């Protein structure tokens, strides 16, 4: 996919993750568990010879990137909106349970929200997909011949997983559901 290694990682657990609140572009600090997850990920990356760290400009990704960067002795080269989480509009900062009640047509049998659909006021899924795939492509061109660590979000990992594996966007979460600080290599 790229002419050098791309390491893509989801940020550590946040207070909103723990409380099942939809984040999107709204921020929430890492929990103690999230900090521990970032430290564990940093340990896993110590032998990876990362040249560059790029992260979403949202605080949870920046905080995760700083923890990892300190351990692997690589500063953050760029904080960018290109790899921000999907914008969820009026659902941001709202408990997932409340969203389930207001939008029952978007709830699967197991109770999970069907995030692959376009919600009112949210960033359309195809726009999000295009933003992530195009944005990561531009960033990789800018850092040609470097081993890059990108710290992003669950939706970012989902979109790249769909792109890499040619999976329809409406099926990606049924196949792939990355936990906090999951590391993928491309």
CATH, residue 34: 3.40.50.1240
Distant-in-sequence, close-in-space partners of 57: CB < 8 Å, separation ≥ 6: 79, 80, 81, 84
Confidence grade of residue 29 (pLDDT, cut at 50, 70, 90) = very high
- pTM for the predicted model, two decimal places: 0.92
Determine, yes or no, domain membership for 14. yes
Name the DSSP class of 131: H
Mean pLDDT, rounded, of the chain:
91
Q: What is the pLDDT of residue 111?
A: 61
Average pLDDT over residues 57-77: 98
Determine, yes or no, domain membership for 1. no
Determine, yes or no, domain membership for 132. yes
Q: Which domain holds residue 164?
A: 6-185
DSSP H helical ranges for 14-171: 15-19, 32-45, 59-72, 96-102, 125-142, 154-165
Determine, yes or no, domain membership for 124. yes
Q: How many domains does the chain have?
A: 1
List, by residue number, the catalytic residues: 11, 85
């Amino acid at each position: 996919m790229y002419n050098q290694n791309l390491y893509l990682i989801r940020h550590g657990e946040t207070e909103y993750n723990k409380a099942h609140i939809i984040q999107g572009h709204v921020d929430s600090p890492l929990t103690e568990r999230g900090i521990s997850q970032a430290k564990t990920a940093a340990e896993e990356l110590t032998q990876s010879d990362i040249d560059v760290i790029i992260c979403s400009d949202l605080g949870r990704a920046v905080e995760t990137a700083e923890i990892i960067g300190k351990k692997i002795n690589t500063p953050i080269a760029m904080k960018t909106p290109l790899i921000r989480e999907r914008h969820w509009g009026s659902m941001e900062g709202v408990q997932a349970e409340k969203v389930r009640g207001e939008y029952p047509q978007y709830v699967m049998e197991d109770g999970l929200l069907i995030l692959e659909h376009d919600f009112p006021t949210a960033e359309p899924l195809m726009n999000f997909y295009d933003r992530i795939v195009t944005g990561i492509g531009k960033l990789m061109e800018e850092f040609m011949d470097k081993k890059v660590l990108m710290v992003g979000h669950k939706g970012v990992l989902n979109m790249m997983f769909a792109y890499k594996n040619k999976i329809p966007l409406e099926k990606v979460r049924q196949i792939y559901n990355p936990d906090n600080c999951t590391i993928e290599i491309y």
